[in-house]
Amino acid sequence: MRMKFYLLLLPLLFLRCGDAKQHTPEPASTPSAPKEIAFEPLIDKYQPFQQALNGPADGFATVENNKITMTAGKQTDFFIEPGTPPYEFANAPLLLKTVDNTRPFTFSCKTTPVHQVKYDAGMAFIFVDEKRWLKFAFEADERMKKRLVTVKTADFSDDNNHDAVNSDFVYLKISSDTKVVGFYYSLDNQNWQLVRVFKNDYPPMIRVGIGTQSPAGEGNSSVFEAIQFTDQAVKDFRMGI
């Protein structure tokens, strides 16, 4: 009798298991669209830049003798931590120019940042939206060595330390032939060193420009000069010329 009782229970158990699996699926979450970014149109004195991000330009940038000095407050950064603990900042001040990404371009500048504490930096920048951007920085590392740093962000940021240089300034260059993008630096604006090359899979319109940051400090400033935009790409993406 006990065996028959167990046999009668088995179909009921299978039915209960089957019922448990037949739950109503939760609706799939849809990715949130990038939020509207509030760019401030710029007056002529900031040319060639057309927009400011993260504050009115008059609050963080001055122009004198063809030099732009940008000032950042404390805890200003562009970085989305891929690990833990969570860390997401996109509040460093930027000056940007709209660029037709379906055509070749090259942007270059000289930057002289004040490196007071680690991560203080002056930087060249490609901005797409709040979750997609590229930072090319002349930055103080954890040991206060001045080095080139790149951060490529698509929802989360990578973080790459490159050459350390014994100089207070560097020239930065960003170039695209519409298929790839190259980052380069120089100490004399003549001989260029490749930092990284990557696929240009960005939309037809992007923004390119400059910025300054102080993630771990009380603020910093960076001077930018020799600013140039051209509608040609470098001919040699390894040599940067």
Q: What is the pLDDT along the chain (241 residues), one digit of tens a residue?
A: 444 434 333 443 333 444 443 444 444 444 455 567 889 999 899 999 999 999 999 999 999 999 999 999 999 999 999 999 999 999 999 999 999 999 999 999 999 999 999 999 999 999 999 999 999 999 999 999 999 999 999 999 999 999 999 999 999 999 999 999 999 999 999 999 999 999 999 999 999 999 999 999 999 999 999 999 999 999 999 999 9
Return the amino acid letter for 51: Q
List the one residue out of 170, 216, 225 whose CA is nearest residue 73.
Answer: 216
Beta carbons of 70 and 60 less than 8 angstroms apart: yes
Element (H, E) at 63: strand 61-64
Residues 6+ apart with CB under 8 A from 30: none
| Two structure tokens written together for 167 | 């100089």
Q: Does domain 50-230 have CATH number 2.60.120.200?
A: yes
- Single pTM value for the model: 0.85
Q: Residue ranges per domain, the chain?
A: 50-230
Please report, for residues 40, 41, 52, 63, 235, the alpha-carbon distance to residue 58 in angstroms, rounded to integers and kept in the order given: 11, 12, 10, 10, 37
d(CA 85, CA 82): 9
List the one residue out of 67, 45, 33, 119 whose CA is nearest residue 224.
Answer: 67
